[in-house]
Amino acid sequence: MSITHIVLFQFKAGIEPEVIKDTCDRMLALKGNCLHPTSQKPYITTSSGGADNSPEGIQNGITHAFVVEFASAGDRDYYTHKDPAHLAFIQSLGGVIEKAQVIDYTPGVY
């Protein structure tokens, strides 16, 4: 069953717009940079994201959202715990991200 992985970022105050754009570009580039350990081919099925534009005012500091989809929990688990490209990306966030939130779900499973 497919897994939807939602990532929410709040950037630290004073971070330059160019750094924010670079971080977001690199997050979206993971779709092509993360390779399956057996096939050595990209395994993220879809990836999208962008800056918040909700008029509701309940973002609680979150400024950017990303939705990443995987064909299976196994692919998500590899991405989360072992994929070198993803792990390197996470390591690069220390100086720019104030808060990150992640939630995963299987569509239709309640």
What pLDDT digit, counting tens, does each position of 21-54 carry? 999 999 999 999 999 999 999 999 999 999 999 9
Residue with token string 């069953």? 1
**Cα 45 to chain centroid, rounded:** 13
- What is the per-residue pLDDT for 9? 98
- What is the per-residue pLDDT for 101? 97
How many Cα atoms within 13 Å fall on the side-chain side of residue 97? Answer: 19
Q: For the structural domain made of 3-104, what CATH number should be given? A: 3.30.70.100
- What is the per-residue pLDDT for 33? 98
Dist CA 59 CA 107 (whole Å): 23
- What is the per-residue pLDDT for 5? 98
Report the DSSP beta bridge partners of residue 51.
Answer: 64
Report the predicted TM-score, pTM, of the whole model to 2 decimal places. Answer: 0.94
Spans of all domains in the chain: 3-104
11: three-class secondary structure by DSSP: strand
- Predicted confidence (pLDDT) per residue in 42-94, tens digit: 999 999 999 999 999 999 999 999 999 999 999 999 999 999 999 999 999 99
64: three-class secondary structure by DSSP: strand
